[in-house]
Amino acid sequence: MQVAAAKETIFKINDLNLWYDDFHALKDVNLEALNNEIFAIIGPSGCGKSTFIKTLNLMINMEPGVRMTGEINYKEKNLLDSRVDLVDLRRKVGMIFQKGNPFPQSIYDNIVYGPKIHGIKKKSELDEIVETTLKDVALWDEVKDRLKTSAMGLSGGQQQRLCIARALATKPDVVLMDEPTSALDPISTLKIEELMTELKKKYCIVIVTHNMQQASRISDKTAFFLHGRVVETAETGKIFSNPEDKRTEDYISGRFG
Amino acid sequence: MAKASVTPSAEERLILTKKNRRWDEVRGRSLVTICAIIMIVATIAVTIFLAQKGLQSFTVNNINPIAYLTSTNWNPVGENASFGIFPFIFGSLAVTFLSALIAAPLGIGAAIFMSEIAPKFGKKFLQPVIELLVGIPSVVYGFIGLVVLVPLVRDNLPGIGFSLFAGVIVLTVMILPTVTTIATDAMRSLPNSLRQGSLALGATRWQTIRKVLIPAALPSLLTAIVLGMARAFGEALAVQMVIGNTRDLPGSIFDTSATLTTIVTLNIGHTTYGSIENNTLWSMGLILLIISFVFIFIVRYLSGRRKI
């Protein structure tokens, strides 16, 4: 049924190069991420995968000495050559970090933070956003009676799901996840993974992960980064069963990294 | 001699080092314990001494404590001596709160500038300057106040120059570095993930500061203000040099005034030990101590409420 319908391209990266001062961190990266897919980025530490994901919402600009060339096309708009509206970009491209980073405020206030910034003031509307996003991340039943209590009282896994809910509250197109489960126990990890497969029905998801099982379990496409280059990018099934490049094979079979 | 220098066996060496280590352990622990005990004893001793001396004006000299605290008539010598220290309590609290009122926004603003806007410039240039300001002795502040500020006030504002206002300004300058330093530490200790989280949601830098960082650091920022107030409250010398030291309740901030500390330092030297006036000065010392305790309790309470 869905076979015929071509998925919309969300990100198209052309020849992206990135330097931190003199250090050439990303080299000629070419990638494409589609809507309703989970795009996984794997690779050893220091391969540039975290740097790469941070370019997609230009959070990379916070780092000192960063210089980029090439194109990062988000829905056919190059983030590098035009004066992009960061506020709008980041509303549309949500990001989840390694460790849940809720604000030390109530659960409710955490979720309405984004929408309020982007101009939603009506209480009924905000209430509705809180309920739907918490339901989306399967946290509603656990916290519905204590929405006004501090988010810092939640467990690590709950905090991470709250942060996902917070990102969803601005109604993004894309959710970027930078090793979202690396600080979580296996059960919380499983919940987040289930959540991701649920979320891809509505969003494009780009995830950086250290965990190759995770990439193979949940993602549709996988890119293997090494020394700032994309060594190989393909359907996840193919990359894990029949990689083209020797280095990919070495990495996924655990011979290095 | 020769026998004693025979190399000990491995077992003996082990026992020897263990013994040494245990002795080392005991010695180190006793040393720091003694330090702690001295601290505690000193604090308790000062408190007891001050309480005992400070209460004498009520127990020995039969001054009514209510009248002492609320009367505005301070006339400690002569036949109809009267001991009302309300103007000084008022003066102390007035200079403290007014200087905190000015120093708090300035200090927190500077702290945000140093931690969020220009961290490099802040660390390299601003921080050393502020630390230098903390180190300047209060008499220097007082002297500058006397020579520069008082004439300036006299020429441009109502009153004679010496005033509550001049005291507030001098104290503001004095506590500003304290407030700024502690507030900067508070802002810097916020985890970077909070900033990232907020920016990644599309917030601007200013929104992030206002809606995430300041609320998160609020208990620590309040601590900074309270510690600044404690310093202002306890300062005697610099204030004494510019406030005018009159015993009446000031009618405006451009009137001369006095604080508990200035009255104590001015009079303790020329009153006889054990006289009524001397005892009432000790009572002021006790009140200063009690109010300082209140400041400390506020700080303790605030640090217990830290969110991160």
B123-143 pLDDT, tens per residue?
A: 889 888 988 888 899 999 999
Q: Which residue is listed with tokens 């209510």?
A: B66
Residue B5 lies in a domain: no
Which member of A99, A117, A152 has the closest CB to residue B201?
A: A117
Q: Are strands A174-178 and A204-208 parallel, antiparallel or unpaired?
A: parallel
The average confidence (pLDDT) of chain B is 90
Which member of A99, A150, A170 has the closest CB to residue B201?
A: A170
Q: Which domain holds residue B153?
A: 88-304
CB contact under 8 A, A62 and B307: no
At A167 the pLDDT is 94
B289-294 long-range CB contacts below 8 Å, 24 or more apart?
B289/B46, B289/B47, B289/B50, B291/B92, B291/B233, B292/B230, B292/B233, B292/B234
Q: Environment class of residue B47 by beta-carbon count within 10 Å: exposed (0-12), middle (13-18) or buried (19+)?
A: middle
At A72 the pLDDT is 92
Residue B265 lies in a domain: yes
Closest CA to A221 of A2, A229, A230: A230
Residue A257 lies in a domain: no
Count CB neighbours of A160 within 10 A.
30
Residue B80 lies in a domain: no
What distance in Å separates residue B222's CA from the closest CA in chain A?
A: 17
CB contact under 8 A, A117 and B203: yes
At B38 the pLDDT is 97
Residue B122 lies in a domain: yes
Q: Which residue is listed with tokens 């441009």?
A: B156
CB contact under 8 A, A87 and B204: yes
Q: Which residue of A has its CA nearest to B306?
A: A104
Our count of domains for chain B comes to: 1
Q: Which residue is listed with tokens 């949500």?
A: A94
Q: Tell me the one-letter amino acid at B158.
A: P
Per-residue confidence band for B308, with pLDDT thresholds at 50, 70 and 90: low
Instruction: Give me the CATH number covering residue B158.
Output: 1.10.3720.10
CB-CB neighbors (< 8 A) of B200 in chain A = 57, 59, 90, 94-95, 97, 167
Q: Tell me the one-letter amino acid at B126.
A: L
Residue A4 lies in a domain: no
Is pLDDT above 50 for B1?
A: no
CA-to-CA dists, residue B191 to A180, A184, B206, angstroms: 18, 19, 17
CB-CB neighbors (< 8 A) of B206 in chain A = none
CA gap B3, B121 in Å, rounded:
67
CA gap B201, A97 in Å, rounded:
12
CA-to-CA dists, residue A37 to A152, A243, B285, angstroms: 32, 20, 73
Question: Which of the residue ranges A45-49, A167-171, B41-45, B108-112 would you say has the lowest mean pLDDT?
Answer: A45-49
Q: Which domain holds residue A68?
A: 9-252
At A83 the pLDDT is 78
Is pLDDT above 60 for B205?
A: yes
Per-residue confidence band for B261, with pLDDT thresholds at 50, 70 and 90: very high
CA gap A99, A179 in Å, rounded:
8
CB-CB neighbors (< 8 A) of A113 in chain B = 198, 201, 203, 211-212
At A82 the pLDDT is 67
Joined tokens for residue B4: 């004693």
What is the pTM assigned to this prediction?
Answer: 0.84
What distance in Å separates residue A171's CA from the closest CA in chain B?
A: 11
Element (H, E) at A175: strand A174-178
CA gap A29, A112 in Å, rounded:
36
Q: Which of A59, A99, A117, A166 to mutate to test the interface with B (most CBs of B within 10 A)?
A: A117
CB contact under 8 A, A86 and B202: yes
Instruction: Give me the CATH number covering residue A218.
Output: 3.40.50.300
Contact in structure between B201 and A170 (CB atoms under 8 Å) = yes
Which member of B200, B207, B216 has the closest CB to residue A59?
A: B200
Residue B261 lies in a domain: yes
Contact in structure between B300 and B219 (CB atoms under 8 Å) = no
> Does ipTM come in above 0.85?
yes
Our count of domains for chain A comes to: 1
Q: Environment class of residue A101 by beta-carbon count within 10 Å: exposed (0-12), middle (13-18) or buried (19+)?
A: buried
Residue B273 lies in a domain: yes
CA gap B286, B51 in Å, rounded:
6
Q: What is the pLDDT along chain A (257 residues), one digit of tens a residue?
A: 445 467 888 999 999 999 999 999 999 999 999 999 999 999 988 889 999 999 999 999 888 889 999 999 998 888 887 678 888 899 999 999 998 899 999 999 999 999 999 999 999 999 999 999 999 888 999 999 999 999 999 999 899 999 999 999 999 999 999 999 988 888 889 989 999 998 999 999 999 998 888 999 999 999 999 999 999 999 998 998 888 888 998 888 877 65
Count CB neighbours of B118 within 10 A.
13
Which member of A90, A103, A150 has the closest CB to residue B200?
A: A90
At B180 the pLDDT is 94
CA gap A100, A177 in Å, rounded:
11
Q: Which residue of B has its CA nearest to A176?
A: B200
Between the CA atoms of A109, A198, A42 and A88, what dihedral angle is there, to the nearest 10 degrees?
-50
CB contact under 8 A, A114 and B201: yes
Residue B98 lies in a domain: yes
Joined tokens for residue B265: 């330092």
Residue B38 lies in a domain: no
Residue A1 lies in a domain: no
Residue A2 lies in a domain: no
Instruction: State the alpha helices, DSSP H only, in chain B.
Output: 10-59, 65-70, 86-112, 119-121, 127-135, 138-144, 150-156, 164-188, 192-200, 205-207, 214-234, 237-243, 260-267, 276-304
**Count of residues for chain B?**
308
Contact in structure between B71 and B86 (CB atoms under 8 Å) = yes
CB-CB neighbors (< 8 A) of B202 in chain A = 86-91, 114, 117-118, 170
Query: Where is mean pLDDT largest: A77-86, B26-35, B72-81, B114-123?
Result: B26-35
Q: Compute φ and ψ for B29, nearest 5 degrees.
A: -65, -40
Residue A152 lies in a domain: yes
